[in-house]
Every structure is written in structure tokens, then in C-alpha cells.
């Protein structure tokens, strides 16, 4: 039986990713929650996490075992949405889990957080503790079904979107031309390849390379400009001023910076990763992740204003196909299905 509270559906959303100052998963939680609240005002979407407010009782410090369950009971929640690979271990209500990608199971997934996910998530899925699973792309949906042997109708691809504040803005006209990378600084982003390609490009043309994002792993940036993490409010100007945004990742779950750049009217040069290819829809200039010469050629082509203009327009059209309203409505349908299966 599907149970709704008197004012609509009440979904407790895992806010743990909000403790990280930047990043795609934080943005996912913020934007999805805001869109759900806007488009389903009859519902209630409280954000809960032991990282945002301390548990009330000692036993609740074992958050995933006891704490989250007690907090849901206090909130009168109908369902829990685990936004980052986890759901309660002892559910009193049904749960939905978002699996952003399978990077924790790749060779580079050696961090402590990856190890926890690698051990915990398969058990939660195998035990059926997540009634439904959300992925950001069909590419990841297929991977999740194959790796965890899940029924296809239990895994739903719900694409993300760029925030509305990502739009073209006026920038300094006397600044040197630059190529821009936005994303986490870590091995799977393949930055070494793009830095080496840029060094070759710089022998032929005056163009800088600017790297923006949280540093997880040290990378030899050479003479590229490493800014590090910046507030989301600074990103539209960085995208808008760039000759092109480069996204050379060898593996992605969605590739949100690609969509952000497109929405800002910036040409995108990206790898041929399946999720990025799905997202780009032919509106990005794509190169094999390991093709150094191909990256050099693509960067040189981007310096031609006429060539670049066509890609900028294609990107704007493609970005217009995505919205957080669409993401929220599709997610709300998954919530309903999880309750029906309970």
C-alpha cells in the first residue's frame, strides 16, 4: 500500500554531499531538492544528515544503522532518497539510491570514500534495500544493471541539467585567449593528456590553459594556471571567456561541466566517453581520450572563430534540452514507483 502524509509525499533527502564545498554531487542535491520543492509544493523534502546536524542520542551516531531511521520517523517521512550510493541499513520506509557512476570500482578508486562505497553499495543493492536505483545516464544504467545483476525496470536513467545561472556573461576583452578545464583534479579526468597537448598548441599560438576544480590528486600542471576550487557564481564568467572548454575524462557518469559550458555558449572539446557522448548529442567536438595528436588538432581548430561559432550554437541548442524541472519530475516518478513496489 502506498502511504502519503496528509499534505502530500514526504521524502527525506540525504544531504551528506553538502558538506563538500564544490562538486557535481553537491550541485545535484542542491538543484534537485530546489526543483522538487518548486514543482511539487504539496510535498515535503527535508534534507537530513548526521554531518549537517549532530544526532540526538548516542545510538544515533551509528547513522546508517539507527540514526537515519529515527530521524525519518521524527520527520514522518514516506521514503528516503540516498543521493550518494547509500541507503539505511534497517529500513522502516522504502528507499531510492542514486548511483552516479562506477568509479569506485575502477583502478583509480582507491580513496577511503571509494573503498566504503565499493564494500557497502553492492550489499545494499543485493539485499534489495534500495527499491529503485537512479543513474544520471543510460550508459551508467547499463553498467549498473550488468555489474550488480539488477532487474532493468529497477534502474532508471534521470539526466541532470545545468543551473540557470550558467549563461553567457560579459568578460574582459583584453585577456589572453585561454582553454578551460572545470572539474575535479584526479587521474580519471585525464588532465596529463590535455596538458601535454596544450604544450604543443602553445608552440604555435598564444593561448593559456586554466584548470578549475577541487584538487584530489596532485598533477604536474607545467605552466598551466591551476586556480583550484571556485564558487559556482564565478564559473559562468570563466566559461564565457574561454576559447573552448576541454573535458578529456576517461570515465564519467554524466559530465555536468560539459552542459554548463554549452549553456554559457562556449565550445566544448570532450573525450568519447560513453556518458559524455550521450550527453553531448553531437554538439561537442569529441576526441579519443588517449589521442594526443587529436587533442592538439582540436585545440588548434577551436582558435578559429568561424569554426568555433558553429559548435557554440550547437551547444546552446543541446543544453536547452535539459532542465532541473525535467529532472525533478522524472525523479518524482521514481519515488512513486518505489512506494508502489513497497
Q: What nine digits make up the cell of 160?
A: 541532470
Supply the CATH number for residue 213's domain. Answer: 3.40.50.2000
For the chain, the average pLDDT equals 93
Question: Is residue 14 packed enough to be buried (19+ CB in 10 Å), middle (13-18) or exposed (0-12)?
Answer: buried
Lowest-confidence segment of 14-23, 192-201, 245-254 by average pLDDT = 14-23
Give the count of beta carbons closer than 10 Å to the beta carbon of residue 104: 21
Q: What is the pLDDT of residue 2?
A: 41
Q: Cell triple for residue 279?
A: 550527453
What count of other Cβ atoms lies within 10 Å of the Cβ of residue 140? 23
Q: Do 209 and 151 share a structural domain? A: no
Q: Which residue has the cell 555558449?
A: 265
Provide the percentage of residues in the chain whose pLDDT is more than 90: 80
pLDDT score of 109: 66
Question: Crossing angle for the helix pair 292-302 and 305-319, nearest 10 degrees?
Answer: 100
User: Looking at residues 308-317, what average pLDDT do you find?
Assistant: 98
Give yes or no: residues 127 and 247 share one domain: no
H or E stretch covering 330: helix 324-340
Whether 265 is covered by a domain: the verdict is yes
Helix (H, G, I), strand (E, B) or coil at 192: helix
Is residue 49 domain-resident?
Answer: yes
Find the mean pLDDT for residues 63-78. Answer: 93
- The answer to the question of residue 300 being in a domain is yes
Q: Are residues 226 and 123 in the same domain?
A: no
pLDDT of residue 1 exceeding 70, the answer is: no
Which residue stretches of 203-255 are H helix?
Answer: 235-241
Please check whether residues 251 and 298 belong to one and the same domain. yes
Helix, strand or coil, per DSSP, at residue 124: helix
Residues 117 and 208 in one domain: no
Q: Which three three-digit cell numbers place residue 155?
A: 534502474
Phi then psi dihedrals of residue 8, to 5 deg: 120, -160
Is the pLDDT higher at 276 or at 53?
A: 276
More confident residue, 290 or 21: 290
Q: What are phi and psi of 292, to 5 degrees?
A: -60, -45
Do 328 and 243 reside in the same domain of the chain? Answer: no
| Residue 149: Cβ within 10 Å count | 10
Residues 182 and 284 in one domain: yes
- Scored b (16 or more CB within 10 A) or e, 42-76 reads ebbbbbbbbeeeebeeeebeebbebbbbbbbeeee
Domain assignment present for residue 4? The answer is: no
Q: Give yes or no for residue 6 having a pLDDT over 60.
A: no
Q: What's the pLDDT at 263?
A: 98
**Is residue 1 a part of any domain in this protein?**
no
> What's the pLDDT score for residue 60?
75
Q: How many whole angstroms separate alpha carbon 311 and alpha carbon 41?
A: 38
> Which whole number is the average pLDDT over 87-103?
95
Kindly state whether residue 31 falls inside one of the protein's structural domains. yes
Give the whole-number percent of the chain exceeding pLDDT 70: 97
Digit-coded pLDDT (tens) for 154-174: 999 999 999 999 999 988 776
Q: Verify that 77 and 157 share a domain, yes or no.
A: yes
Confidence (pLDDT) at 144: 98
pLDDT in tens, 29-57: 999 999 999 999 999 999 999 988 777 77
Tell whether 334 and 315 lie within a shared domain: no
| DSSP letter, residue 67 | I
Lowest mean pLDDT among 56-60, 65-69, 307-311, 338-342: 56-60
Same domain, 307 and 330: no
Give the DSSP H or E segment for 79.
strand 79-82
What are the pLDDT digits (tens) for 105-141? 998 766 777 889 999 999 999 999 999 999 999 999 9
Rg of the chain's alpha carbons, rounded to an integer? Answer: 21
Range of the domain at 215: 178-319
pLDDT surpasses 90 at 294: yes
Q: How far apart are CA 333 and CA 322, in angstroms?
A: 17
pLDDT digits (tens, 9 = 90+) for 202-231: 999 999 999 999 888 888 888 899 999 999
Q: Could you tell me if 330 and 311 lie in one domain?
A: no
Higher local confidence (pLDDT), 5 or 74: 74
Pair (193, 151) in one structural domain: no
Could you tell me if residue 144 is inside a domain? yes
How many structural domains is the chain composed of?
Answer: 2
Amino acid at each position: 500500500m502506498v502511504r502519503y502524509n496528509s499534505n502530500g509525499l514526504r521524502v527525506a533527502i540525504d544531504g551528506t554531499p553538502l558538506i563538500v564545498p564544490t562538486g557535481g554531487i553537491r550541485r545535484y542535491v542542491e538543484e534537485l531538492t530546489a526543483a522538487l520543492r518548486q514543482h511539487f509544493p504539496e510535498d515535503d523534502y527535508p534534507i537530513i544528515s548526521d554531518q549537517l546536524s549532530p544526532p540526538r542520542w548516542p545510538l544515533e551516531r551509528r547513522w546508517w544503522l539507527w540514526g537515519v531511521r529515527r530521524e525519518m520517523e521524527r520527520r514522518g517521512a514516506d521514503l528516503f532518497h540516498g543521493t550518494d550510493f547509500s541507503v539505511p541499513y534497517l529500513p522502516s520506509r522504502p528507499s531510492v539510491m542514486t548511483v552516479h557512476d562506477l568509479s569506485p570500482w575502477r583502478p583509480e578508486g582507491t580513496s577511503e570514500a571509494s573503498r566504503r562505497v565499493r564494500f557497502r553499495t553492492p550489499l545494499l543493492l543485493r539485499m534489495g534495500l534500495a527499491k529503485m536505483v537512479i543513474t544520471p545516464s543510460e550508459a551508467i544504467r547499463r553498467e549498473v544493471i550488468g555489474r550488480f545483476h539488477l532487474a532493468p525496470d529497477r534502474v532508471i536513467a534521470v539526466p541532470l541539467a545545468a543551473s540557470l545561472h550558467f549563461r553567457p556573461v560579459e568578460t574582459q576583452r583584453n585577456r589572453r585567449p585561454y582553454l578551460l578545464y572545470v572539474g575535479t583534479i584526479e587521474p580519471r579526468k585525464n588532465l596529463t593528456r590535455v596538458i601535454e597537448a596544450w604544450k604543443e598548441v602553445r608552440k604555435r599560438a598564444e593561448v593559456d590553459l586554466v584548470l578549475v576544480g577541487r584538487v584530489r590528486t596532485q598533477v604536474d600542471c607545467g605552466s598551466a594556471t591551476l586556480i583550484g576550487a571556485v564558487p559556482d557564481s564565478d564559473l559562468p564568467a570563466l566559461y564565457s571567456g574561454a576559447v573552448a572548454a576541454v573535458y578529456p575524462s576517461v570515465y564519467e557518469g554524466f559530465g555536468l561541466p560539459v552542459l554548463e559550458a554549452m549553456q554559457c555558449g562556449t565550445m566544448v572539446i570532450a573525450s568519447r566517453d560513453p556518458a559524455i557522448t550521450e550527453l553531448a548529442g553531437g554538439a561537442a567536438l569529441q576526441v579519443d581520450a588517449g589521442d594526443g595528436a587529436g587533442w592538439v588538432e582540436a585545440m588548434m581548430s577551436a582558435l578559429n572563430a568561424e569554426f568555433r561559432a558553429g559548435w557554440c550554437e550547437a551547444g546552446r541548442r543541446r543544453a536547452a534540452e535539459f532542465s532541473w524541472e525535467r529532472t525533478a519530475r522524472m525523479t518524482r516518478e521514481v519515488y512513486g514507483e518505489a512506494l508502489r513496489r513497497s
